[in-house]
A and B are shown apart, each in its own frame.
Chain A
Amino acid sequence: MKSRIYHTESEDETVALGEKLATELPTTAVVLLIGQLGAGKTTLAKGIVKGLGAAAPDDVSSPTFTLIHEYTPSVYHIDLYRLDTAAQVATLGLEEIFDRRAVVLIEWGERFPELMPAERVDIRLTGTGECSREIEVQWIQSSPPCKVAPVRNRNEFRAALRSSTLPH
Chain B
Amino acid sequence: MKILGIETSCDETAAAVVEDGTTVHSSVVASQLATHAKYGGVVPELASREHLRAIVPVVRLALEEAGAGFEDLVAIAVTEGPGLVGSLLVGITYAKSLCLARDLPLIGVNHIEGHIHAVILQAGASIEYPALALVVSGGHTHLFEVREGFTYRLLGKTRDDAAGEAFDKVAKLLGFGYPGGPIIDQLAPHGDPHAVKFTLARMKGNTLDFSFSGLKTAVLRWVEQRDLTSEIEARRRSQATSAEDFLPLTPQPTLDLLASFQHTVIAELLRRAVRSIEEIGARSFIISGGVASNTGLRIAAREAGLACPVYFPTPALSTDNAAMIAAAAFPKLHAGHFDDFSLRAQANLALA
Q: Do A and B come from one complex?
A: yes
Cβ of B249 under 8 Å from chain A: no
Q: How far is the CA of A149 from the CA of B139 in the complex (A)?
A: 50
Q: How far is the CA of A93 from the CA of B10 in the complex (A)?
A: 14
Expressed in whole angstroms, the Cα–Cα distance for A37 and B165 within the complex equals 12
Can you name the residue of chain A whose Cβ is closest to the Cβ of B346? A70
CB 8 Å contact bits of A61-89 with B (1 = contact, 0 = none)? 11011111111000000000111000010
**Chain B interface, >50% SS class:** loop
User: Given A37-B169, A37-B217, A91-B46 in contact, is the A66-B84 Cβ separation under 8 Å?
Assistant: yes
> Which of A36, A65, A91 is in CB contact (< 8 Å) with B50?
A91
Contact between B216 and A91, CB atoms less than 8 A apart: no
Minimal Cβ-Cβ distance residue in A for B170: A37
Asked whether, in the complex, the Cβ of B220 is within 8 Å of the Cβ of A38, the reply is yes
The B-contacting residues of A in range 31-71, CB under 8 angstroms, are 36-38, 42-43, 57-58, 61-62, 64-71
Chain B contacts of A151 at CB under 8 A? none
A92 on the interface (CB 8 Å rule)? yes
Q: Is the CB of B161 within 8 A of A62?
A: yes
Interface size class of B (residues with CB under 8 A): 35 or more
CB contacts (< 8 Å) of B85 on chain A: these are: 68, 70
CB distance from B147 to the nearest CB of A (A): 23
With both chains docked as a complex, state the minimum distance between the C-beta of A59 and any C-beta of chain B, in angstroms: 8
| C-alpha gap A25/B170 in the complex (Å) | 33
A-B contact pairs, 21 of them (CB 8 A): A36-B220, A38-B221, A57-B159, A58-B159, A61-B161, A62-B160, A64-B168, A65-B10, A65-B165, A67-B84, A68-B85, A68-B347, A70-B347, A70-B348, A71-B348, A81-B169, A82-B179, A88-B47, A91-B48, A92-B47, A92-B84
Q: List chain B positions with a Cβ less than 8 A from chain A.
A: 10, 45-50, 82-86, 137-139, 157-162, 164-165, 168-169, 173, 178-179, 205-206, 209, 213, 216-217, 220-221, 347-348
